[in-house]
Structure 1
Amino acid sequence: MDSLYEWSSRTIRRIYDARLDTPPVLDIDACFPGGRRFESAWTRLRGEALAVLRDAPSIPRFHEIMPSQEEISAQDGKDWRMFLLKVYGQELRANLALCPLLQELLRATPEALSATLSFLAPHKHIPRHQGPFRGILRYQLNLDVRPDEDGRPGTVLWLAGKEYRLANGASMLWDDTYPHEVWNHSDHMRIALLLDVRRPAMPLDLRLLSNTITAGVGVVARWRGLG
């Protein structure tokens, strides 16, 4: 089964990579203008995220949600916790109820297929890895990032050979199929909102394939009780 999954993933990656040639970082206004409404509301979204961190009985670690990701989630014994709100179209209603503003923004932004609050423990390192296919883009909005000892934002995203440090309220739209890794150099939890959004302007066949793939992931999420 694992070998079949790996073969399918490689095949899908080749299909997209042969047809889509875009840079690692894309223009938000051109490719995901809806992202600006999340950015404009970042202080209130941070308040909701901090309440979730304080009040949620248990926010699972990433590898507890997806055991296949243990290699990048659990390798150093420090937590990477994920509070799922939407998984490829499947809403997690109990979680969304704890974040009413975020729920409102997501329902006004149908191109955002998935939404997660990501909690990265102090000094956590996420090793280098790549996303599965280019049919989606990753939107990241940092909600609570503390400075490192040099006074710069303490969380580093290394993406395709370049370092990015997003301050509080800063956002970025990027292609996670490029090699990337993350460090939290600060002594505090880093909180970010992560959205998976539809890639715009794809050829019709790739758009249909993307819809099939994401719908399938959503069905699996619902079957596992996530939706």
Structure 2
Amino acid sequence: MKWVFVLLFLASAVYVHRRGRVRHRLGRQLLDHSTFMAPLNVLMYAFSRVPTTPFIDDPARHFPELEPLREQWPQIRAEALRLREMQQIKAADGYTDVGFNSFFRRGWKRFYLKWYDEAHPSAAELCPQTTALLRRIPSVKAAMFTELPPGSELRPHRDPYAGSLRLHLGLDTPNDDGCFIEVDGQRYSWRDGQWTMFDETYIHSARNDTQGNRVILFCDVERPLRFAPVRALNRFVARHLIAAGASPNQEGDRTGGINRLFKYFYAVRLRAKALRERNQSLYYGLKYASVALAVAFIVWV
């Protein structure tokens, strides 16, 4: 029975790696979070009630409950722009956002509206209309305003878990093809008042090569799934694992357990980076040896 689970894990990991036209190098994929989540992700794909393509055409057809977001985009935009003027759309203060920490180095900024829970107190205070609107759409599990200033980029990456789909609603964008996201090699350029939905477990990247700023509403929407047990599993993972990635905007907002520990893990990561600068061969040798030891432990326990 143990070997059945090992083979299922390996088959799932290979499927996730080969899924789509754009792929990470094998060495990077071995240590990617999506590899460890592969069996769960394959389950989400297998029972998805919406297409498992990189982009989801016509989100309103699959998610009619989201239509008020597009209808009320000017009101949402007004709150986002007021936040930007207050300089509240920003990088995390310290190491409190493990999910997006690497993005901050290249200019990306965010203000959380909710994260698999009720609105942050700061969001309810500063964005009352948007948070009230989101409260009426329970399929939106997470939401934030994100900013991509001129010259910023997000390098190719994939999100680890397939239990949701990503919605982007343009609020204040350059309205220019030089500001875009690519998902599995397919490009979309943001426009004010228009939206797109995509599967964030495909490799994707973004760039703003214009002179204008880009502010959008960014939402994680629960993936519709066949069969109640699969839906229950997805909600269990979201509630007990993904929710632990909650990151604060201000003092008084909730910080999830993963982010409370992140500063300690990051201290170890800084030491690892220093080792890589001094001796790349030793760094990669230790890195892959740790993966081999983990696999051996799983196989022989």
The question of a shared fold, defined as TM-score above 0.5 by the shorter chain, is answered with yes
Task: Compute the TM-score of the two structures, normalised by the length of structure 2.
Answer: 0.64
Whole-Å Cα distance in 1 between the matches of residues 156 and 94 of structure 2? 16
Q: How far, CA to CA, are the matches of 1:157 and 1:64 in structure 2?
A: 26
Aligned length: 218
What secondary structure sits across from 1:121 in the alignment? coil
CA positional deviation for 1:64? 4.4
Corresponding residue for residue 126 of structure 1: 154
The answer as to whether partners of 1:119 and 1:191 remain within 8 angstroms in 2 is yes
RMSD of equivalent CA atoms: 2.8
- Identity, in percent, stands at 24
In the other structure, the counterpart of 1:177 is: 201
From 66, 74, 91, the counterpart of 1:43: 74
Q: Return the structure number with greater helix share.
A: 2
Aligned with 1:112 (options 140, 151, 164): 140
Q: Say if 2:254 is the partner of 1:225.
A: yes
**Structure 1 residue 189: deviation in Å?**
1.9
Counterparts of 2:147 and 2:96 in 1: how far apart (Å)?
A: 14
- Cα displacement (A) at 1:34: 2.2
Cα displacement (A) at 1:52? 0.4
Checking the alignment, whether the CA contact within 8 Å between 1:135 and 1:206 is kept in structure 2 is no
C-alpha distance in 2, partners of 1:89/1:67?
A: 18
Deviation digits for residues 98-143 of structure 1, max 9, x if unmatched? 1121012101111111111001121111011112222111111010
More strand by share: 1
Match of 1:136 in 2: 164
CA distance in 1, matches of 2:233, 2:93: 26
In structure 1, what is the Cα distance between the partners aligned to 2:101 and 2:79? 28
TM-score, normalising length: structure 1: 0.84
2:275 match: none
- Give 2:53's aligned residue: 23
Which of 227, 242, 263 matches 1:203? Answer: 227
Correspondence 1:214 to 2:238? yes
Shift of 1:67: 3.4
Cα shift readout 1:185-214 (whole Å, capped 9, x = no counterpart): 111221010111111243323211110111
Q: Do 1:145 and 1:191's aligned partners in 2 also have CA atoms closer than 8 Å? A: yes
Residue ranges of structure 2 left out of the alignment (5+ in a row): 1-30, 257-301
Structure showing greater Rg: 2
5+ residue gaps, structure 1: none
**Counterparts in 2 of 1:195 and 1:220: CA distance versus 1, 3 Å:** closer
Q: 103, 109, 112: which one pairs with 2:131?
A: 103
Quickly say closer, same or farther: Cα 1:59–1:208, change in 2 above 3 A: same
Q: What is the match of residue 213 of structure 2?
A: 189
Greater RCO, 1 or 2 (C-alpha within 8 Å, sep 6+): 1
For the pair 1:59 / 2:90, whether they are aligned, the reply is yes
- DSSP-derived class of the 2:68 partner: helix
